[in-house]
Amino acid sequence: MEFEEARRRVGELRQTIEQHDRLYFQESNPEIPDREYDGLKAELVRLEAAFPELDQGDSPTRRVGDDRLPGFATYRHRVPMQSLDNTYSEEELHAFHQRLIRASGDENPIYVVEPKIDGVAVSLTFEEGRFIRAVTRGNGVQGDDVTENVRGIRSLPKALSGATPPAMIEIRGEIYMTTEEFQRINGLREEAGQAVYANPRNLTSGTIKLLDRREVAQRHLEIVLYGLGHSEGLKLETQEGYHEILREWNLPTVEKIWTVEGIDEAWAAIQELDAMREGFAYATDGAVIKLNSLALQQEVGATAKSPRWAIAYKFAAERAETVLRAISIQVGRTGVLTPVAELEPVHLAGTTVSRATLHNAGEIARKDVRVGDAVLVEKAGEIIPAVIEVNLAKRPSDSKPFEFPANCPICATPTVQLEGEVARRCPNLDCPAQVRRRVGHFASKQSLDIDGLGEAVVDQLVSRDLVKRLSDLYRLKREDLLELEKFGEKSADNLLRAIEISKTAELWRVIHGLGIQQVGATTARDLARVFGSLDELADATPEGLVAVEGIGEKSAEGIRAYFDLEANRALIDELMALGLKPESPKGDEAGGSLFEGKTFVLTGTLPSLTRDEARVKIEAAGGRVTSSVSRKTDFVLAGSDAGSKLTKARKLGVEVVDEDRLMEMLA
Ligand code: IVH
C-alpha cells in the first residue's frame, strides 16, 4: 500500500472506530457487531505497525474506549483498568504463549482459563470488608461513580464474610443481566414505544448509567467478579488463589476456571468452556487466558493499554447464509418505520431464524442489501438476529437497490425524517397501523388494563373502522361488538363492562396509556403524583416538568410536544366528555399528609422492606425521597451497610431513623 493511501485509510479508521466507541461505551447502542469492530481495530493496528510515521499522536489503538457520561462524579482507579488484547485465531494464542516464555523465562507457564463475560466492567472497592464504592472503567484511569446503582444489586453482598478481609481492595468484574430480564424489559419498552435494545449487554450498560435510581431499581442486574486492582494487606500468590478467596468472601464468581499447564491444555480448556457456556447465566464471548503466578504477571508487565500476561480468545458468533425473500416495513405506535428482513428459514445457534432486523434505511443502504440476495445472518450475544453482509458472488443479475418506501406502507402518507433521528416516520396519526398499536397500548396491563381487548379484537375493531381513535372505544355499542368474529353476547357484555370500569382507572394508567413518547409507567406514576390531573399536566411548563424527580429534559420535551398538539388536547377533551374520570390522588392526598414537606434519604439495606417499598410508603404519606443528604434533609432512613450518607447525616445532625421507627411513625 502506498503511504498516501495508508494515511487516508488510517484517518478514516480512526474516525470510524471513535464513532463506534461512542455508540458502544456512551450510548449503549452499537451499530455493528463486535467482530466487525474488532476487524476495523486489527486493520488499524496493522497499518500503524507497517507505517511507523503514522503510528503517532492520538489513536484509538492506544487507549480504551471511554464510558464516562455527564451527571456522574468521576473517581480515579488506584490501579488503572486496562483492556485485553484479543484474537479469534488459535495461531495467535501460540504466539502469545511463545512471547510469554521469552518474557518470563518459564518454559511451561501455568495458565488460568476463565470465561470472558460480555457485560459491563466495574471496579468495586471494599474497605475493612465493607462495600464503599463502584466505579465504571471510564477511560481506564478515571471512571464514573455508580455506587448507588450497584448497591441495588441484591446478589452482591455489601460486606465480605468468611475469610478476614484486607484493609482495602479493588475487586473487578462485570455487571450483567439475565436473558429473561432482558426480554422482560425490552417487552415493556416496546409497549411504551421506546427503542428496544439488541442484547443484554447494551441494556446493562444503559441501565448502570441511568441517573434515576428508581428506574434502575426496577431492572434486575447481576454481577460476577474475577479481577484484582489495588489492595492493601492481601496475601496472594496466584490468580487461582484469588478465585478461591472471592468464593470464601461469598462474592458471585464465575462457574468454572481451568488451571492448566502450557498452551495445548489451555486450548482444550477453551473448547470445554465453549461447550458449556450456553448454560451460564451471563453471556460469554470468549475465554481469557491468564498467567497464574502473580509474581510472573508483575515480571512481564503491561503495555499502555493491556497486560502482557493475558489474552482474550473470542468465539466467533454463529452465522448462516440464507436468502432474503423480502423486506417488510413495520409501523410502530409512534409511526416509526422499521425494516425487517424476511428470510428463507435457516437454522442458527439452536433456533430457526426467519426474520432479522435491518435497523433503518441508512443501514440497508450502507450494506446495499437487496431482495433476492444471499445474506449472512448472525446471532451472537445478540438475541435479535441481524443481517451482517451480502454474498455478492450470488447476487442475481437483475437485482435492484432497495428503495425505502417514500410513503407509509399502511396508509400511503408520505413519510418524514425528523431532525436528529435516523428513523423515518409516518406522520399520519390516523394511520391504521399506528391506531392498532396505540389502542393495544391503551388497553394493555400497564395502562388501562381492559380485559378482553387483546390484539385480535383490536385488529378487528380497527380494520372494521369501528375504532379510529382512542375515544371511539367509549362509543362502542353492543351491536358493534356482536359483529366481530367469535363474539357472542357474553363476550360483548364482558368487554363493555371492562371498558366501563376503565373510566375510573388511576390517573397514572391513563397518562401511560396515552402513549406519550418517553413516558413509561414509572414516569407516568411520577407525573400523576405531582400533577394530580390531566389538565394540570397538560398545562405544565417545561421547568415544572423537569422539577419532578425522575423527569429529565427528554421526557419533558416529549410531554410538552404531546400536549402542544391540538389533536391530542381534543382527544383528551373527548375522553373526558365520554366519561373517563381518572382517579387522581395527588401525593399528599393519597394517604394523608403525615410527612407533608418532609424529605427522606434512604441508605443501606433495610431488614424487611426493599427500598422501593419504603419509598412508596413514605410517598403515600406525602413525603419526598431524594438521593443526597443535605441540611434540608429531614430524615435519613438507614439500614445495614449504610455508607457515606449515614456519616454525612450524623455530621449535619440530620435525624437518622431505622425501619422500625419508620413503621412506628406511619402507624
Ligand atoms: S481480565 C487488565 N478476565 O473484557 C485487564 N477481563 O475485552 C484484565 N472481561 O476489560 C481483564 N471477562 O472488562 C478479564 N474473565 C475475565 C473477563 C474480562 C470479561 C472484560 C474486561 C476487560 C474486557 C477486555
pLDDT recorded at residue 305: 86
Q: Is the pLDDT of residue 352 over 80?
A: yes
Q: Residue 34 belongs to a domain with what CATH number?
A: 1.10.287.610
Check whether residue 310 and residue 334 sit in a common domain. no
| pLDDT: which is higher, 317 or 516 | 516
pLDDT recorded at residue 569: 94
pLDDT tens, position by position, 409-458: 999 999 998 777 778 889 998 899 999 999 999 998 889 999 999 989 99
**If we measure between CA atoms, which residue out of 15, 303, 147 comes closest to residue 643?**
147
Q: Is residue 591 part of a domain?
A: no
Q: Which among 314, 349, 367 is the end of a domain?
A: 314
Q: Residue 488 belongs to a domain with what CATH number?
A: 1.10.150.20
Check whether residue 310 and residue 323 sit in a common domain. no
Residue 503 catalytic? no
Q: Which among 266, 290, 314 is the end of a domain?
A: 314
pLDDT tens, position by position, 32-71: 878 888 899 999 999 999 998 888 878 888 877 788 887 7
Partner residues linked to 291 by β-bridges: 111
> Does the beta carbon of 372 sit less than 6 angstroms from any atom of ligand 1?
no
The DSSP output letter for 312 is E
Q: Is residue 129 part of a domain?
A: yes
Dist. CA 413 → ligand 1 center (Å)? 50
> Does the beta carbon of 228 sit less than 6 angstroms from any atom of ligand 1?
no
pLDDT recorded at residue 340: 93
Q: How confident is the model at residue 269 (pLDDT cuts 50, 70, 90)?
A: very high
**If we measure between CA atoms, which residue out of 330, 375, 336, 334 comes closest to residue 353?**
375
Q: Is the pLDDT of residue 130 over 80?
A: yes
Dist. CA 172 → ligand 1 center (Å)? 9
Query: With pLDDT > 70 as the criterion, what percentage of the chain qualifies?
Result: 97
Cell reading at 152: 441495588
- 175 exposure class (CB count in 10 Å sphere: 0-12, 13-18, 19+): buried
Kindly state the average pLDDT of the residues 135-157: 92
- 474 exposure class (CB count in 10 Å sphere: 0-12, 13-18, 19+): middle
Check whether residue 34 and residue 129 sit in a common domain. no
Kindly state the average pLDDT of the residues 561-588: 86
> Does the beta carbon of 174 sit less than 6 angstroms from any atom of ligand 1?
yes
The pairing of beta strand 120-127 with beta strand 336-348: unpaired
Query: With pLDDT > 90 as the criterion, what percentage of the chain qualifies?
Result: 57
Q: Is the pLDDT of residue 189 over 60?
A: yes
Q: Is residue 405 part of a domain?
A: no
> Does the beta carbon of 266 sit less than 6 angstroms from any atom of ligand 1?
no
Which residue in this structure is represented by grid cell 435525624?
655
Kindly state the average pLDDT of the residues 637-664: 87
pLDDT recorded at residue 183: 83
Q: Is the pLDDT of residue 198 over 80?
A: no
Dist. CA 525 → ligand 1 center (Å)? 39
Check whether residue 388 and residue 446 sit in a common domain. no
Q: Output the 3-class SS for 316-385.
A: CCEEEEEEEEEEEEEECCCCEEEEEEEEEEEEECCEEEEEEECCCHHHHHHHCCCCCCEEEEEECCCCCC
| pLDDT: which is higher, 324 or 430 | 324
Q: How confident is the model at residue 588 (pLDDT cuts 50, 70, 90)?
A: very low
Q: Is residue 449 part of a domain?
A: yes
Which residue in this structure is represented by grid cell 413518547?
517
Check whether residue 223 and residue 306 sit in a common domain. yes
pLDDT recorded at residue 332: 86
Q: Is the pLDDT of residue 589 over 50?
A: no
Dist. CA 18 → ligand 1 center (Å)? 20
| Cα 390-15-339 angle, rounded to 5 deg | 35
Nearest ligand 1 atom to the CA of 119 is 19
268 Cβ partners below 8 Å, 6+ apart?
260
Q: Residue 143 belongs to a domain with what CATH number?
A: 3.30.470.30
Cα Rg, the chain, nearest whole Å: 28
Q: Is residue 414 part of a domain?
A: no
Check whether residue 304 and residue 346 sit in a common domain. no
Q: Are the C-beta atoms of residues 516 and 334 closer than 8 Å to each other?
A: no
Kindly state the average pLDDT of the residues 550-566: 85
Q: Which among 258, 290, 314 is the end of a domain?
A: 314
Dist. CA 274 → ligand 1 center (Å)? 17
- 234 exposure class (CB count in 10 Å sphere: 0-12, 13-18, 19+): middle
Half-sphere exposure of 174 (CA within 13 A, CB side): 21
Q: Are the C-beta atoms of residues 580 and 613 closer than 8 Å to each other?
A: no
> Does the beta carbon of 312 sit less than 6 angstroms from any atom of ligand 1?
yes
> Does the beta carbon of 114 sit less than 6 angstroms from any atom of ligand 1?
yes
pLDDT recorded at residue 571: 94
> Does the beta carbon of 197 sit less than 6 angstroms from any atom of ligand 1?
no
> Does the beta carbon of 226 sit less than 6 angstroms from any atom of ligand 1?
yes
Q: Is residue 193 part of a domain?
A: yes
Check whether residue 30 and residue 173 sit in a common domain. no
Cell reading at 623: 413525603
Check whether residue 138 and residue 268 sit in a common domain. yes
Check whether residue 102 and residue 225 sit in a common domain. yes
| DSSP reduced 3-state for 284 | strand
Q: Is residue 232 part of a domain?
A: yes
Q: Mind giving me the DSSP string for 583-648?
A: B---HHHHS-STTTT-EEEEESB-SSS-HHHHHHHHHHTT-EEESS--TT--EEEE-BT--HHHHH
Report the distance separating Cα 81 and Cα 140, nearest Å: 5
pLDDT tens, position by position, 219-259: 889 999 999 999 999 999 999 999 999 999 999 999 999 99
* Choice among 116, 158, 290, 314 that is catalytic: 116
Pocket test for ligand 1, best of 66, 79, 116 (most atoms within 8 A of CB): 116
Report the domain count for the chain: 5
State which residues form the domain around 348. Answer: 319-394
Check whether residue 267 and residue 386 sit in a common domain. no
Cell reading at 177: 443481566
Q: Is the pLDDT of residue 72 over 90?
A: no
Q: What sign for the dihedral angle of Cα 368, 371, 373, 379?
A: positive
Q: Are the C-beta atoms of residues 260 and 288 closer than 8 Å to each other?
A: no
pLDDT recorded at residue 590: 44
Half-sphere exposure of 51 (CA within 13 A, CB side): 17
70 Cβ partners below 8 Å, 6+ apart?
none
Q: Whose CA is nearest to atom 7 of ligand 1?
A: 84
**Distances in whole angstroms, Cα of residue 406 to Cα of each of 369, 415, 425:** 18, 6, 10
pLDDT recorded at residue 82: 93
| pLDDT: which is higher, 330 or 113 | 113
pLDDT tens, position by position, 368-397: 999 999 999 988 666 678 898 999 999 999
Check whether residue 661 and residue 526 sit in a common domain. no
Q: Residue 329 belongs to a domain with what CATH number?
A: 2.40.50.140
pLDDT recorded at residue 488: 92
Q: Is residue 69 part of a domain?
A: no
| DSSP reduced 3-state for 429 | coil
Mean pLDDT score of the chain: 89
Q: Is the pLDDT of residue 313 over 90?
A: yes
Check whether residue 219 and residue 357 sit in a common domain. no
Q: Is the pLDDT of residue 212 over 70?
A: yes
The DSSP output letter for 164 is P
pLDDT tens, position by position, 479-527: 999 999 989 999 999 999 999 999 999 999 999 999 998 787 778 888 8
Helices 432-443 and 455-463 cross at an angle (nearest 10°) of 140
Dist. CA 288 → ligand 1 center (Å)? 7
Question: For the ranges 270-279, 506-515, 604-613, which has the lowest average pLDDT?
Answer: 604-613
Question: For the ranges 74-78, 168-172, 579-583, which has the lowest average pLDDT?
Answer: 579-583
- Residue 538 CA, chain-centre distance (Å), reads 30
Q: Residue 621 belongs to a domain with what CATH number?
A: 3.40.50.10190
528 Cβ partners below 8 Å, 6+ apart?
506, 507, 508, 511, 584
